[in-house]
A = this chain, B = another copy of it.
Amino acid sequence: MAGGEIERLIQLLAKLPGLGPRSARRAALYLLKRQEAALVPLLRAMGDAAAHVRTCSVCGNLDTADPCSICSDGKRDATLVCVVEDVADLWAMERAGVFRGRYHVLGGVLSALDGVGPEDLAIPALVRRVVEQEVKEVVLATGVTVDGQTTAHYIADRLAGTGVAVSGLAHGVPVGGELDYLDDGTIAAALRARHPL
C-alpha cells in the first residue's frame, strides 16, 4: 500500500477521538497532499503545544503558564470556585462567558465500576484549597450523570465541616429546548424546581 511512515501516521491519527480508520486515512492524505499548507503548520502547532502547554498546579487547567491565566487573573473572584470534571468542561464554561470565579478540575468522576476513588481525583487538593485559601463558595458543575452526581454529593460531604457554601448548577429545560424532545428526568427536574413568575 504505502511506506511504513504513512501507515504509522494513519494508525496514530486513528487514535484521536472522533477519527476512525477510514477518516484517519482521509486526514493523512489531506496532510500529505498539503505539506506546506497543512502538515507543516500542524507540526509546528503540536511542537509548540508539547513544549509550552502544562497543567496548572492550582486548578488543573491546561495553559502555557503555571498558575494558568485564569488563576493568575486578579480580576477573577478567588473566593468562588467552580468544580468541573474535565478541562473540556472548563472550556465550555468559559465559552458561556458568565462565570467570573476560578476553577478546580477534578480529572474525572468517582466510579466504583472503573475503580476511581477520591484519591485518584483532585478532591483532596480541592479540600486543601478550600481550607487554606479563603474560598467562600464552591459551585459543583459535574455532569448530571449517576457518577457525576455521586461525585458532587461526595464533595459536598467532604466540604461540610469547612464552612464553605456549596452549590450546584440548576437542572431544567435547556434554553431553546422543546418539551416534546426532552427526557422524562429533565421534565421532572424542571417541574420540581419551578419558580413563581
Q: Which residues of A contact B (CB under 8 A)?
A: 1-6, 8-9, 12-13, 15-19, 23, 25-33, 35, 38-43, 45-50, 52-53, 61-65, 68-69, 86-88, 91, 94-95
Docked pose: A38 CA to B19 CA in angstroms: 14
Cβ-defined contact, B3 with A69, below 8 A: yes
Contacts of A43 in B (CB 8 A): 43, 46-47, 50
For the A-B complex with A17-B26, A29-B86 known, give 10 more contacts whose Cβ atoms are closer than 8 Å: A1-B91, A2-B61, A5-B45, A5-B52, A18-B19, A19-B19, A19-B27, A28-B49, A39-B49, A39-B50
Q: How many copies make up the complex?
A: 2
Contacts of A38 in B (CB 8 A): 12, 15
Cβ-defined contact, B65 with A25, below 8 A: no
Q: 29 A-B contacts, Cβ less than 8 Å apart? A: A2-B68, A3-B53, A3-B69, A5-B52, A5-B64, A6-B49, A6-B62, A8-B48, A9-B42, A9-B46, A9-B49, A12-B38, A16-B30, A17-B27, A17-B30, A18-B19, A18-B26, A18-B27, A19-B27, A25-B91, A26-B88, A28-B49, A29-B86, A29-B88, A31-B46, A33-B62, A33-B87, A39-B50, A43-B50
